[in-house]
């Protein structure tokens, strides 16, 4: 381990989905730019699709051209149930075959990769979501909260989405002191059914909708409100970004990945 560490040069590759929205990309870029990476370690914000010149291969190539031999890969995705993580891991050579068909071709990688983990039920993220919805409740003990995420219909992936949402809802419920917390996915469309179940158990309670999305956009502004037509609920549509807690989440991952990779003398800039 020590021989490898002394001869290794480390870099960080952040991977998120990407969007045609320049505002969406800017929010992710701003969060990555705020990351206090270890001194001298380059960080590249890459995207699975839709952002020309900033795709995953672009990030790998840019880091390797700087002499990086070990790359800490941080998947800036919400859930372990994301099908994109499966295809990305396959294309990076971290698993032999994808679980689902993919058009993603294997990347050209010389560096050793150290894979991280998605957000799932991260405690800081639960605190962030609670802070987003807290203004909607004068007395949380009288209100119920419904955590809404994108979800997946694919076997295996669906269950991981559900497990993460359940744990996240438990954390938010405990933080806010709500009388109950539930979850709903948009895929498959669970929102109407889960809303009816929550209201039937708590007929006098107001229901606060807590979106679990990286950035505000089509799903938070259009899909969720359209599927809640006819219901009485409280909602402000606030997503995780912008928030410094997303940058802190990335820093935690980077620190853990570089430590496990044997990177020597870990220090954060600005300390």
> Is-contact 116 75, C-beta < 8 A?
yes
In tens digits, the chain (271 residues) has pLDDT values of 334 455 789 999 999 999 999 999 999 999 999 999 886 799 999 999 999 999 999 999 999 999 999 999 999 999 999 999 999 999 999 999 999 999 999 999 999 999 999 999 999 999 999 999 999 999 999 999 999 999 999 999 999 999 999 999 999 999 999 999 999 999 999 999 999 999 999 899 999 999 999 999 999 999 999 999 999 999 999 999 999 999 999 999 999 999 998 887 654 444 3
The rounded distance, in Å, linking the Cα atoms of 120 and 79 is 5
The encoded tokens of residue 172 equal 């938010």
Give the H/E segment covering residue 23. helix 22-33
Edge-to-edge strand list for the sheet holding 143-149: 180-185, 143-149, 206-211
What domains are defined for the chain? 2-119+243-261 (3.40.50.1400), 123-227 (3.40.50)
Give the global pTM: 0.92
Q: What is the tens place of the pLDDT at every residue in 1-17? A: 334 455 789 999 999 99
Helix, strand, coil share (%) of the chain residues, nearest 5 = 40, 15, 40
Which SS3 state, helix, strand or coil, does residue 56 take? helix
- Residues 235, 22, 253, 134: what is their CA dihedral angle, to the nearest 10 degrees? -20
131-152 pLDDT, tens per residue? 999 999 999 999 999 999 999 9
Q: Is 87 helix (H, G, I), strand (E, B) or coil?
A: helix
Tokens 């800490």 locate to 72
The Cα angle at residue 151 between residues 148 and 155, in degrees rounded to 5: 145
Q: Do residues 43 and 66 make contact, with C-beta atoms less than 8 angstroms apart?
A: no
CA-to-CA separations, 76 to 140, 189, 246, 249, in angstroms, rounded: 30, 24, 9, 9
């Amino acid at each position: 381990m020590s021989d490898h560490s002394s001869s290794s040069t480390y870099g960080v590759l952040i991977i998120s989905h990407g969007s045609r929205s320049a505002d969406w990309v800017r929010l992710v870029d701003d969060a990555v730019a705020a990351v206090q990476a270890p001194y001298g370690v380059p960080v590249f914000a890459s995207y699975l699709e839709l952002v020309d010149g900033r795709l995953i291969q672009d990030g790998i190539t840019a880091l390797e051209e700087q002499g990086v031999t070990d790359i800490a890969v941080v998947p800036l995705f919400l859930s372990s149930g994301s099908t994109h993580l499966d295809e990305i891991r396959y294309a990076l050579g971290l698993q032999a075959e994808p679980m689902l068909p993919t058009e993603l071709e294997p990347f050209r990688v010389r560096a050793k990769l150290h894979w991280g983990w998605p957000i799932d039920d991260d405690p800081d993220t639960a605190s962030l979501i609670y802070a987003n919805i807290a203004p909607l409740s004068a007395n949380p003990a009288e209100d119920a909260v419904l955590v809404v995420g994108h979800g997946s219909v694919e076997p295996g992936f669906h269950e991981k989405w559900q497990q993460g949402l359940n744990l996240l809802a438990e954390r938010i419920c405990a933080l806010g002191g709500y009388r109950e917390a539930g979850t709903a996915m948009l895929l498959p469309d669970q929102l109407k059914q889960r809303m009816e179940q929550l209201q039937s158990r708590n007929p006098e309670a107001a229901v606060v909708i807590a979106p679990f999305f990286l950035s505000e956009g089509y799903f938070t502004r259009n899909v969720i409100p359209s599927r809640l037509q006819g219901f009485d609920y409280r909602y402000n549509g606030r997503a995780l970004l912008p928030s410094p807690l997303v940058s802190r989440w990335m820093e935690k991952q980077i620190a853990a990945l570089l430590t496990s990779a044997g990177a020597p003398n870990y220090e954060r800039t600005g300390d």
